[in-house]
Structure 1
Amino acid sequence: MIRLTMFFIVASCCFSFSQNKQLLYGFSEIPQSLLLNPGGKVKNDFYFGIPLLSHIHTNVGITGSTVYDLFAKDGVDFNTKLQNAVYGMDSRDFFSVNQQLEIFSGGFSFGSSYEKNQYLSFGLYQELDFITYFPKDLAVLAIEGNQNNINRPFKMSDVSVAAEVISVFHVGYNKKINEKLTFGVRGKIYSSIANINSTKNKGHFTTVNGQNNFYDHIFNLDLEARTSGLASLTDDESDSDSVVKDLTKRAFLGGNLGLGFDIGITRQLNEQWSMDASLLDVGFISHTKDIENYKIKGNYVYEGVNPIFPEIGSGQTAEDYWNEIEENFEDIFEVDTTTAKYTTWRPIKFNASLNYIFGEQEYEDCNCTRTEKSYLNRAGLQFFAMSRPKQPQLALTAYYYRRLFNGLQIKTTYTIDSYSTYNIGLGVSARLGGMNFYVMADNFLQLKNIYNAQSVSLQLGFNYIFNKNEN
């Protein structure tokens, strides 16, 4: 049982998702790039996203050991692999999931008749975000047991988990102030569908030599789990129809509400050099409805029960022994259940890039350049940072962009992040008439062995775009 438990702990902590969208960031031909920088350049007069298909995003990454490390047929005993995986990871390794689905979106330019230098965008998307850190001390305890770790405190602070499902309604404003400066801001209304938060746990568990029994187990605990939107879903009286109705209502601004904003800027340094930056999801959600919180705080000592079973028919049986342990734990650990309101802060994300364009485009029928210069290539560096419960999540990307012709653009990236130092990605945006389709994927070098891949991501979408008349 211990080995099986440890397998699931390690396997879950091997897979993690990132919210970095380095392929989409700065890809101005795709309207959804404004979600990553509301102050980015706009390349269309107006657009609308195909409902439920305009932006589908998910990615997976690996920190620590991979599935291949555990199951590869290399002659190494599985128990040895499991121990190597546990001892090779630490409490900063994590398992996280992020997924986004755009429900609807649109945008249009406006302003004076001779120059529409302002742009309004809007939409609604659903997002799932989940993160749990690897409980290193508890994993070691599960493998080694407490008999060989007398007087060693095992940290409860390793237990850290946060999960939420939300919908986000947003409206963004973008303005080209002059030829060198573009500014943008986006307001957001968050509607929490469900939330679990337990990230500030403290305390430890220690086994010492006992007086009335072989060992005394000392618990110094300060643990808390806060939840909203779950109690009503798990109610015995709720049925599938009422659950679906309730979830739909929450998705359309009927859940626990919050506010936030994004801000971004693009600065043209000279004809070929530019820089941009954005700050995303500066906001909070106030949880006031359907709340159920659990808290354990205090010092507890458990002396155990007599582990020597008398002969059958003359006393305590094995079943009695385990039942007594269960009853003792229920008596010792008093769980305080409350409905107190609480607030969660959104994980803030920061992007910045330095860009260089080159390769002037020429007329097809003469050896001359256009009056307003147009460039086919762009290269640069992008930095990404995101707040997380234990430490920030960082990434650095070098990229190359190429406009093959007006209806087809590609972008390739090389990213160093928490999961890998050799992540190569490729994105393509194509337009046929007004219809735009884009697809992007990461980590091509490791797709030949997906079980040993450090990270794999996918983004795709369909939009209908009316482009500006540009050279």
Structure 2
Amino acid sequence: MYNFTSVPQSLLTNPGADFKYEYYFGVPLLSGISANMGSTGFSAYSLFANDGVDFNTKLRDVVFSTTRKDHLALNEQVEIFNGGFKLGDWFENKGYISFGLYHEFDFLSYMPKDLAILALDGNRDYVGKVFNLGDLNVKSEMVSVLHVGYHKNVSEKLILGARAKIYSSAFNATSTKNSGYIYTIPGTTTAYEQVIYSRLKLNTSGISKYTAEDYDGDVVSDIRKKALFGGDLGLGFDLGFTYYPQKNVQLTASIIDVGFIKHSKDVESYTYEGVYKYEGINPNFISGGTTANIYDEFKDAIPLDTLFTKYTTWRPTKLNASYQYSFGTSSDEDCVCTGQEKDYKNAVGAQFFAMSTPRTPITALTAYYRRSLFSTLQMKATYTLDNYSSKNIGLGLSANLGKFNMYFMADNLLEYKDVSKANSLSFQFGFNFIFKDNNEPN
């Protein structure tokens, strides 16, 4: 989608994109639908292949073949409405306004490797190993985003844009700042010495009332109401630009979702914090039947507490940058490009993408080729190196039927022959009505 300016939604990836139409509006609920999934280290096939191997064996293989840096990420986005229009006539050049509302769901979890090994095997065979409780790192959120953007050609070579956003969080669950350890070593006076140091915390908002025993409402209806700015609120912004050092050379960059959400409604935080030291044989913390009330001592040393304090989360910030070289002059009848690009049928380029996470950023480098096939059809083919795959080939199409625009895009096309083996998949499509500027050549 980035810099695919025949599609209005490209403004959401760069508010300073070279996009010049009189006005446009999206088909409500159908102007932009996207979903993507990415998993490093394993695929669905690794766990669920019908190959006669026991699931527990597959699970162990996945756990021991991955690292704490591997992660699972899910995202889906649905536009409720979207539109834009030019301010003043073409010669006044007062800029362009775009606006809209979209719903977004995010989930990100890193592999809790040490905790998974401890759950599968216990610590009997790992005397001397330190299990890192900080491996637990997970976040999930559903938000609605109301936005308004402005961009303007400040010169023949430079376009600047900005977008303001209001976030409304329907629910959030975040556990990303954990620390602690568990280790067992041979004791000096007893069989074993075991130490547990825990600083675990799960922050939640908008969830606790649905898990209460006396809740008798409609979960779907309640979340829908929260999504329409009945949840926790936050603010954010996007910035971007397009620059032409030469007529057929283009540089772009954008930073998206620099923002936060203040969680204060229906807030509950759960903590396991404390230190416990035990000397003797390995205690059974589950049954509570050990001598000397070891189980009660453990609960007193590392209690489960519930807090009701406000907290703040930051949105996953995305950074984009691209270089593009255009070539192959065309007649106006052949070209559906906009702005400085209207004299060229072909373009090749490279794009860099990075997104912040609680640990290391998710990054991608894409090479692409874009071509105007007909006066009403544009194509963009991509090859991407990212955290998930080294053979990610994607394709995007944008077609205009009169004022009606439709677009379809998908990544990792080679994996569609067996999606269960794919480490990442993404697609997006939508439908808009676009009205060209009467003073601009078609």
Q: Please state how far the C-alpha of 1:145 moved relative to its aligned partner.
A: 2.8
Which residue of structure 1 aligns with residue 127 of structure 2? 150
1:299 aligned residue (275, 278, 282): 275
**Which stretch shows the higher mean deviation, 199-208 or 271-280?**
199-208
Q: 1:299 & 1:327 partners in 2: Cα distance? A: 14
Which residue of structure 1 aligns with residue 373 of structure 2? 404
Secondary structure in 1 aligned to 2:128? Answer: coil
Q: Is the 8 A contact 2:42 2:423 kept in 1?
A: no
Q: Is the 8 A contact 1:348 1:386 kept in 2?
A: yes
1:347 aligned residue (301, 316, 322): 316
Secondary structure in 1 aligned to 2:209? Answer: coil
- Call closer, same or farther: CA 1:45–1:81 in 2, change over 3 Å: same
Q: Please state how far the C-alpha of 1:126 moved relative to its aligned partner.
A: 0.7
Q: Please state how far the C-alpha of 1:66 moved relative to its aligned partner.
A: 2.3
2:149 matched to 1:179? no
Secondary structure in 2 aligned to 1:238? Answer: coil
Mapping for residues 97-112 of structure 1, pairs under 5 Å: 97-112=74-89
Secondary structure in 1 aligned to 2:210? Answer: coil
Which residue of structure 2 aligns with residue 265 of structure 1? 241
Secondary structure in 2 aligned to 1:52? Answer: coil
2:226 aligned residue (233, 240, 250): 250
Q: Please state how far the C-alpha of 1:342 moved relative to its aligned partner.
A: 1.0
Q: Is the 8 A contact 1:213 1:306 kept in 2?
A: no
Which residue of structure 2 aligns with residue 4 of structure 1? none
Q: Is the 8 A contact 1:203 1:222 kept in 2?
A: yes
1:436 aligned residue (405, 418, 424): 405
2:12 matched to 1:27? no
2:38 matched to 1:67? no
Q: 1:319 & 1:380 partners in 2: Cα distance? A: 62
Which residue of structure 2 aligns with residue 459 of structure 1? 428
Mapping for residues 69-468 of structure 1, pairs under 5 Å: 69-70=46-47, 72=49, 81-112=58-89, 114-116=91-93, 118-209=95-186, 215-241=192-218, 243-302=219-278, 321=289, 330-362=299-331, 374-468=343-437
**% identical aligned pairs:** 50
Which residue of structure 2 aligns with residue 3 of structure 1? none
Q: 1:288 & 1:217 partners in 2: Cα distance? A: 39
Question: 1:314-345 CA deviation, whole Å, 9 max, x = no partner?
Answer: xxxx9884998876654553122111111111
Q: Which amino acid aligns with 2:277?
A: V
Q: Is the 8 A contact 1:191 1:256 kept in 2?
A: yes
Q: 2:283 & 2:152 partners in 1: Cα distance? A: 74
Q: 2:25 & 2:48 partners in 1: Cα distance? A: 46
Q: Is the 8 A contact 2:173 2:204 kept in 1?
A: yes
Q: Is the 8 A contact 1:305 1:321 kept in 2?
A: no
What count of residue pairs does the alignment treat as equivalent?
432
Unaligned 5+ segments in structure 2 are: 335-340
2:19 aligned residue (29, 42, 51): 42
**Which stretch shows the higher mean deviation, 121-130 or 107-116?**
107-116
- Call closer, same or farther: CA 1:306–1:177 in 2, change over 3 Å: closer
Q: Please state how far the C-alpha of 1:105 moved relative to its aligned partner.
A: 0.9
Q: Is the 8 A contact 2:93 2:152 kept in 1?
A: no
**Which stretch shows the higher mean deviation, 143-152 or 111-120?**
111-120
Q: Is the 8 A contact 1:29 1:43 kept in 2?
A: no
Q: 1:422 & 1:197 partners in 2: Cα distance? A: 32
Secondary structure in 2 aligned to 1:249? Answer: helix
**Which stretch shows the higher mean deviation, 289-298 or 61-70?**
61-70
Which residue of structure 2 aligns with residue 470 of structure 1? 441
Which residue of structure 2 aligns with residue 5 of structure 1? none
Which residue of structure 1 aligns with residue 337 of structure 2? none
Q: Which amino acid aligns with 2:408?
A: V
- Call closer, same or farther: CA 1:181–1:91 in 2, change over 3 Å: same
Q: Is the 8 A contact 2:283 2:294 kept in 1?
A: no
Q: 1:322 & 1:131 partners in 2: Cα distance? A: 38
Q: 2:267 & 2:52 partners in 1: Cα distance? A: 50
Q: 2:287 & 2:132 partners in 1: Cα distance? A: 31
Unaligned 5+ segments in structure 1 are: 1-23, 309-317, 366-371
RMSD: 2.7
Q: Is the 8 A contact 1:398 1:413 kept in 2?
A: yes
- Call closer, same or farther: CA 1:293–1:346 in 2, change over 3 Å: same
